Amino acid sequence: MRVLLVSDVHTDKAAASLNVNVGSFDNPPNRHGLAHFLEHMLFLGTDRYPEPGAYQLFISEHGGKHNAYTGMEDTNYFFDVDARYLGAALDRFARFFVAPRFHPEYVERERNAVESEYRLKLKDDNRREWEIFGEQVEPSHPLAW
């Protein structure tokens, strides 16, 4: 693991990001969208903070915002928050990667959310180019669909 720390005692905001070296290229055959689906599921509670939405509420109540994205080779999770609450925010954030809950009752909802995001991008020209490219490459290559 590599860690980059940037500190400025004069700022009122703190931020963190964690990059996981797993992305869409790592989806198993016939499981397109799995990495993106797991990105969504991680936000839905952990062992210490089991309530879905608790993390999001904590971050927003303490002056911050959060998000994540799934790329082809990696998935990135990030947030910022009022600097006074960095420790508490990091504790909540870290639990995603240690002990996520994966509530079964949210599986279908998140599957639909990922599908919806996919469908929204279908008309994007860059996305279309990637789809065509994915159909043309050698089937064993990670870019193949």
**Complete domains list, the chain, with CATH:** 13-105 (3.30.830.10)
pLDDT at position 41 over 90: yes
**140 has a pLDDT exceeding 80:** no
39 is catalytic: yes
Classify residue 32 by burial, with Cβ atoms within 10 Å: 0-12, 13-18, 19+. middle
Sheet containing strand 65-70, edge to edge, reads 13-20, 75-82, 65-70
For residue 25, what pLDDT band results from cuts at 50, 70 and 90?
confident
- The residue annotated as part of the active site, out of 39, 110, 131, 135, is 39
Give the residue-averaged pLDDT of 93-121: 92
pTM of the model: 0.84
Query: CA–CA distance from 22 to each of 9, 36, 80 (Å)?
Result: 33, 10, 23
Residue 32 phi/psi, 5-degree rounding, is -60, 135
Residues 75-101, mean pLDDT to the nearest whole number: 96
Residue 76 is encoded by which pair of tokens? Answer: 């990135």
